[in-house]
Structure 1
Amino acid sequence: MPHLLRRPAGLSLRAVGRVVAVLGLFSAPALAADAVFPPAGSVGLVPPAGMTPSKAFAGFEHRSGASILITEMPAEAYGLLVEKFTPEALRASGFSAQRAGEALAVAGGEGRVLRGSQAANGVTYAKWVAVVRGGTGTGLVTVQVPETARGQVPDAAVEAALATIAFRAPGSLADQLAALPYTVGDLAGFRPVRTLMGNALMLTDGPKDVDPDGTQPMVVVAPSMGRAAVPEGQEGAFARRALATFREIKDVTITEESRAIRDGAVVVRLRAAGADAKTGRPMAVTQVIRFEGPNYLRVLGLARTDQPEALARAERVAASVAMR
């Protein structure tokens, strides 16, 4: 399931950390009381028959491989996302939209939705991407159904589910942290901003929760959500490929690479230099991935080159993460 293995299609890691969601158009929404919400989440819906809450991410899954991923962001992210909510902007992610985005009715809010398809790992998916705003937040709702499973999760059921998107008061940050599948023992001077997709955590060092210009150091902690095990001996190659997907910086050059065994797990650390993809400002990044069994946990740290201590602190965060 492609959207379970990386950030939402078309959004950079910074966009995920600083912006918000995608909406769509349907009939009268259901009452919030009818919707099912992820733990500590403020965006929910009534899932199609056969879909159940996922234990690996914020959303729902079906035995056929169909899934609904819910990502929450600050209210101010909505406008920034809607600006880029076009078939052309999302094409680079591999998402092929059938037509331009359409309005999506949301109780007490607004939204837009794109419908189309995307291929990943040899599987073609029917896909819906909706960005919605309501209450005090923004939500990105991404639905993927394998073409072979459209009889089990039909289009009409997906559209009906999107029509029930609802908002409630969000859980506290403490509630969100408690719902994560891991703990962070050392924040190393960073502060938690919010959780993403029910299993990722964004931290920053500075007063802004939303930082579109990338002036503050940022750390993102994200587990693999059930990906198949990386073959032994290929961890380094996997880490380099993963870093290449980091859209925050361009002209990336790896400056350091190390491999270690800690408590039976393989840990690969990369340091790299490059330029901010938006401003051209020199930037530095650290990536630490812990491989253990069929899972891995990835920690990314990004900072300006005049903030070198931020990378060392991000690596302290990585060393302190423990699965529950």
Structure 2
Amino acid sequence: MVLSRFRRATGRLLALLGLVSPLLSVPLLPALAAEAVFPPAGGIGLVPPAGMTLSRSFAGFEHPSGASIVIVAMPAEAYGQLAEKFTPDSLRATGFAAVGAAEPLAVAGGEGRVLRGSQSARGIAYTKWVAVVRGGDGTGLVTVQVPEAARAQVPNQAVEAALGTIAFRSPGSVADQIAAMPYAVGDLAGFRPVRTLMGNTLLLTDGPKDVDPEGTQPLVIVAPSLGKSPVATGQQSAFARKALGTIREVKDIAVTDESRTSEGGAVLIRLRATGKDVRSGRKVGVTQTIRFEGKSYLRVIGLAGADQPDALARAERVAASVIPR
């Protein structure tokens, strides 16, 4: 029951952020856990292909060509349910075109399944792999994507070898994970940290529940962009409104207020809106602040019942205190 709630809550978080993406992957060579490189405070690591280094934006690795390895950690108990649905058919709706069925993946002291395939995003074609792995006290989703144009720089054989080196260790505390984030939060405004995701996303709530699939507690999510595609000057407002529409569990979203401010070289767009919870139909309030700076942006979302306006005001305090490192 706890696992089911965790999966729903994690799915809710990914959907709210528009981060749900296809899973893909491959077979491999055995690995030495001692060789694995781990994201700061992370519990899952691997030996990356040549030229790939630890990312400062997310839990995983990146290459100058645009290739990336993203690691999402989950409880060990999640593996069974994830592996059960780890099929080409279940991932087709995400845009991932799998080549063949999932195959076993050797993991030191554990087990795994992998799928290979391809996907296009923003006009770029990628070769992709997704692995569902279990070891030690954790489960992981390891997603690799390599632009077709960069396959000579990050060849398939190198990716497959890297997946064969996936290793587990005890992760750092939530405090350690927050300290390793690519941004600092100066004011929690009465919210408490619940968990982190992908090494760059922070979930805050106000209430006793760590897992709240019904969404009865106020929620704040802080997450930077994964890519380095700048939003053109003058297009920030349109981008922010489009991003607001990706909050999938809120329907009938209507913007009630918008503000634009500057801070140094950054542009901040804040939107306030109302809507209805997709499941319960209850009225909710939404606040979203996006900080556009250079080639990236940082997004803070606050959600609360319509009868909790103070929670939204506090969420905006959190947003105002977030500073990229």
Q: Which amino acid aligns with 2:225?
A: S
Partner SS state of residue 170, structure 2: coil
Counterpart for residue 34 of structure 1: 35
**In the alignment, is residue 229 of structure 1 matched against residue 248 of structure 2?**
no
C-alpha distance after superposition, 1:112-138 (max 9, x if no partner): 322211111221001112222332333
Paired positions, count: 313
Counterpart for residue 298 of structure 1: 299
Partner SS state of residue 311, structure 1: helix
**In the alignment, is residue 212 of structure 1 matched against residue 213 of structure 2?**
yes
Partner SS state of residue 105, structure 1: coil
Identity of aligned residues (%): 70
Change in CA separation of 1:85 and 1:57 when aligned onto 2, cut-off 3 Å: same
Change in CA separation of 1:240 and 1:151 when aligned onto 2, cut-off 3 Å: same
- 1:83 shift after superposition: 5.6
**2: CA distance, partners of 1:302 / 1:89:** 29
- 1:281 shift after superposition: 4.3
Change in CA separation of 1:23 and 1:114 when aligned onto 2, cut-off 3 Å: closer
Change in CA separation of 1:106 and 1:99 when aligned onto 2, cut-off 3 Å: same
Partner SS state of residue 176, structure 2: helix
Counterpart for residue 13 of structure 2: 13
**2: CA distance, partners of 1:114 / 1:87:** 8
Counterpart for residue 134 of structure 1: 135
Runs of 5+ unmatched residues, structure 1: 1-9
Change in CA separation of 1:313 and 1:82 when aligned onto 2, cut-off 3 Å: farther
Change in CA separation of 1:88 and 1:277 when aligned onto 2, cut-off 3 Å: farther
- 1:250 shift after superposition: 2.8
- 1:244 shift after superposition: 1.8
Pairs within 5 Å for 1:239-278: 239-278=240-279
Change in CA separation of 1:25 and 1:54 when aligned onto 2, cut-off 3 Å: closer
**1: CA distance, partners of 2:305 / 2:77:** 24
**2: CA distance, partners of 1:120 / 1:286:** 27
Partner SS state of residue 187, structure 2: coil
Pairs within 5 Å for 1:78-93: 78=79, 81-82=82-83, 84-93=85-94
Partner SS state of residue 119, structure 1: strand
- 1:23 shift after superposition: 8.8
Pairs within 5 Å for 1:71-220: 71-78=72-79, 81-82=82-83, 84-220=85-221
TM-score, structure 2 as length reference: 0.84
| Greater CA drift, 191-200 or 75-84 | 75-84
Contact 1:22/1:81, CA 8 A, preserved across alignment: no
Change in CA separation of 1:277 and 1:154 when aligned onto 2, cut-off 3 Å: farther
Change in CA separation of 1:314 and 1:76 when aligned onto 2, cut-off 3 Å: farther
Change in CA separation of 1:273 and 1:53 when aligned onto 2, cut-off 3 Å: same
**2: CA distance, partners of 1:211 / 1:23:** 29
**In the alignment, is residue 310 of structure 1 matched against residue 319 of structure 2?**
no
C-alpha distance after superposition, 1:2-46 (max 9, x if no partner): xxxxxxxx95535699x9x97967456423212110111110011
Partner SS state of residue 320, structure 2: helix
Task: List structure 1 runs of 4+ shifted beyond 6 angstroms.
Answer: 21-25
- 1:315 shift after superposition: 0.8
Contact 1:13/1:246, CA 8 A, preserved across alignment: no
Partner SS state of residue 37, structure 1: coil
Runs of 5+ unmatched residues, structure 2: 1-9
Change in CA separation of 1:306 and 1:75 when aligned onto 2, cut-off 3 Å: farther
- 1:78 shift after superposition: 4.1
Change in CA separation of 1:207 and 1:105 when aligned onto 2, cut-off 3 Å: farther
**2: CA distance, partners of 1:171 / 1:240:** 36
Q: Which amino acid aligns with 1:245?
A: T
TM-score, structure 1 as length reference: 0.85
**2: CA distance, partners of 1:99 / 1:272:** 44
Change in CA separation of 1:37 and 1:247 when aligned onto 2, cut-off 3 Å: same
